[in-house]
Structure 1
Amino acid sequence: MPASTAPAILVLGSVNIDVCAYCERLPRPGETVPGTGYAMGLGGKGANQAAAAARLGGYVEMVGRTGTDVFGEMARTRLAEFGVRTGHLRSDPGSPTGIAAIGVEASGENCITVIGGANMAVAAADVAAALPLFRRASVLLLQLEIPLAAGLAAAAETRAGGGRVILDPAPAPRGGLPDEAFRAVDILTPNETETEALVGIRPTTPEEARAAAALLLGRGVPVAIVKMGAQGVYFRGGEREGFVPAFPVRAVDTVAAGDCFNGGLAFALARGDGLDAAVRFAAACGALATTRAGAADSAPALAEATALLG
């Protein structure tokens, strides 16, 4: 696709380098456990979602910030290898590149500590500098590892151009989100923990997810997609409502599964899928991401997702 053509998918969000430590089980507070290995790779919810959409074959632009350090160089190289355009990914001399320290146990469960670095300097000025991209984007992906004000500015510009805005409310902020954030986006995609933080219900069944989605819709968001991991995905918006059971896979690492879900959702919507089909496609992408280690590196290819869908 020529550079003058608008990207189908635009991502405003965090870019990190992840340092993953693998162990039989995660340590309890004050405990040290032996590890079985470690790895470094591209991470950050924004970069993960961009990489996931690009690996599927989407035309993806990334807007955000890294530091001018070696981690920033590493992140840019990895994004380019995934096929993500980084012409509007700013190098910030005043902040280090974000990092995440991730513990992963043998069951696939994980715990993550994020140091935002340059991600926390992302501002409305970054949106203004890339304004034509936002005005022409088909789908904008947002998360909460950058300041909310920048995301709201990006959402307004994208919607002004007729694009659709997807917000992954992660990490869920203490005290939830202001009503303006719900009204500023088209699709909200919380997992169980984030749903509980936003509406007080931690869903484990379709019925509980339906009740939570109703509360989210009541806050002003047009479409709510509640991700419940191994319990499946519930979605509701307008007259559309449904539940997608979890795909049977052998999970080894749940890191970035939600990001691969959102990348898949954006890809499917950008190519014209309806909500039902897009959610099912996204669920397949998220399931496949759990079958391999890593964050961005766990993103599946289009052929893999298509095969899992049957």
Structure 2
Amino acid sequence: MSILVLGSVNVDITSYGARLPAPGETVHAESYAIALGGKGANQAVAAARLGGDAKLAGRTGTDAFGQMARDWLARTGVDTGPLWQDPDHPTGIASIGVSRDGENAITVVGGANMAIGAEDVARLDSAFASAKVLLLQLETPLAAGLAAAGKMRAAGGMTVLDPAPAPRAPFGSEVWRAVDAMTPNETETEALTGLRPTDSASAARAASILIERGLRIAVIKMGAGGVYWRAPEGEGHLPAMHVTAIDTVAAGDCFNGGLAFALARGDSLPEALRIANACGALATTRRGASDAAPTLAEVESLLKSLGS
């Protein structure tokens, strides 16, 4: 069974320096890189690199950045058949700053990503039929994502929403009904619930709010605080995996790609979260966005080394 990702495709221009600039300040960086990014692309690549059958639906422009993105995706094994070339909008880009301690600041210009709509979802009937998991994020219009979630449920699959970037306004009831699982980090959890999770107890309180709104599965990512989850089959807390982090840019995307991969191959939720947790940890040990996604062998090696 495949993983279908409906989401953004960007070309990332990343600068690396000692620290991030303060508002109104210019700092000199030490180096830069141009690479594939966008949460949709990152999550599709993360699933594909693990060995998953990942399909990416969305839009790029017909510009040079769009061709660059498609070439990168093809090299990683992502199926770009559902990825439409939009002649009216440019390919999305992201300007990323990364400090020496691994923190980042990101500015995104959505371009073609923000033109995704009902016609894109209508082109995906065969993809829904073969997919077990649909991955969504908030770098594309939510209405299209909700339409896709409805089709995914009708086809018998599940939908996982990564509510990133953090929503600026409360979700309507239709969102909680449409998706099966959400995977917010600390900032996103606070935006959704008013509570910032700092440990398993506060994460449990936040998860209760999400479940009460109609969500079936709440997965709260707390960085160094680990992962708390609650679902009909139970709840639990996974501690963070201690690695040497140098770049946190795509850690959450690799987590979600790993989660979708494991769920699509039939793993239980707790086991799938172990895989996802390892994917997110490994992603912080290397630079880049989609380039940071680990292989299944690397994930299994980390789990074995930690006795997980």
Q: Does 1:134 align with 2:134?
A: no
Flag structure 1 segments of 5+ consecutive residues without an equivalent.
1-6
What amino acid does structure 2 have at the position aligned with 1:43? G
Q: 1:44 aligns with which of 38, 48, 72?
A: 38
Query: Hey, what's the Cα distance between the residues in 2 that align with 1:182 and 1:254?
Result: 28
What amino acid does structure 1 have at the position aligned with 2:208? A
Query: Hey, what's the Cα distance between the residues in 2 that align with 1:154 and 1:90?
Result: 16
SS at the partner of 2:81?
A: strand
What amino acid does structure 1 have at the position aligned with 2:92? G
What residue number does 2:139 align with? Answer: 145
Q: 1:309 aligns with which of 300, 303, 306?
A: 303
Q: Does 1:76 align with 2:80?
A: no
SS at the partner of 1:304?
A: helix
Q: CA deviation at 1:159?
A: 0.6
What residue number does 1:3 align with? Answer: none
Q: CA deviation at 1:135?
A: 3.1
What amino acid does structure 2 have at the position aligned with 1:78? W
Q: TM-score, normalised by structure 1?
A: 0.97
What residue number does 1:188 align with? Answer: 182
Query: Hey, what's the Cα distance between the residues in 2 that align with 1:259 and 1:201?
Result: 22
Q: CA deviation at 1:280?
A: 1.2
What residue number does 1:90 align with? Answer: 84
Q: Does 1:99 align with 2:99?
A: no
What amino acid does structure 2 have at the position aligned with 1:155? A
Q: 2:7 aligns with which of 5, 13, 19?
A: 13
What residue number does 1:226 align with? Answer: 220
SS at the partner of 1:112?
A: strand
In the alignment of these two chains, the number of paired residues is 304
SS at the partner of 1:276?
A: helix
| 1:204-228 residue CA offsets vs partner (Å, 9 max, x unmatched) | 1111111000001111110000001
What residue number does 1:251 align with? Answer: 245
Query: Hey, what's the Cα distance between the residues in 2 that align with 1:23 and 1:179?
Result: 43
Query: Hey, what's the Cα distance between the residues in 2 that align with 1:254 and 1:240?
Result: 29
| 1:148-175 residue CA offsets vs partner (Å, 9 max, x unmatched) | 0100010000110100100000112211
What amino acid does structure 2 have at the position aligned with 1:62? L
| 1:94-124 residue CA offsets vs partner (Å, 9 max, x unmatched) | 0000000000001101010000000000001
Query: Hey, what's the Cα distance between the residues in 1 that align with 2:244 and 2:102?
Result: 10
What residue number does 2:25 align with? Answer: 31
| 1:38-87 residue CA offsets vs partner (Å, 9 max, x unmatched) | 00100000000000000000001110000000000010001111100111
What amino acid does structure 2 have at the position aligned with 1:85? D
SS at the partner of 2:291?
A: helix
Q: TM-score, normalised by structure 2?
A: 0.97
Matches within 5 A, 1:250-269: 250-269=244-263
Query: Hey, what's the Cα distance between the residues in 1 that align with 2:16 and 2:196?
Result: 28
Cα-Cα RMSD: 0.8
What residue number does 1:63 align with? Answer: 57
SS at the partner of 2:84?
A: strand
Q: 2:116 aligns with which of 114, 122, 140?
A: 122
What amino acid does structure 1 have at the position aligned with 2:193? V
SS at the partner of 1:64?
A: strand
The answer (yes or no) to whether the contact 1:135–1:159 under 8 Å persists in 2 is no
Q: 1:209 aligns with which of 169, 193, 203?
A: 203
The answer (yes or no) to whether the contact 1:135–1:157 under 8 Å persists in 2 is no
Identity of aligned residues (%): 64
Flag structure 2 segments of 5+ consecutive residues without an equivalent.
none
SS at the partner of 1:215?
A: helix
SS at the partner of 1:138?
A: strand
What amino acid does structure 1 have at the position aligned with 2:62? T
Q: CA deviation at 1:239?
A: 3.1
Query: Hey, what's the Cα distance between the residues in 1 that align with 2:134 and 2:223?
Result: 23
Q: Does 1:299 align with 2:293?
A: yes
What residue number does 2:268 align with? Answer: 274
Q: Does 1:163 align with 2:157?
A: yes
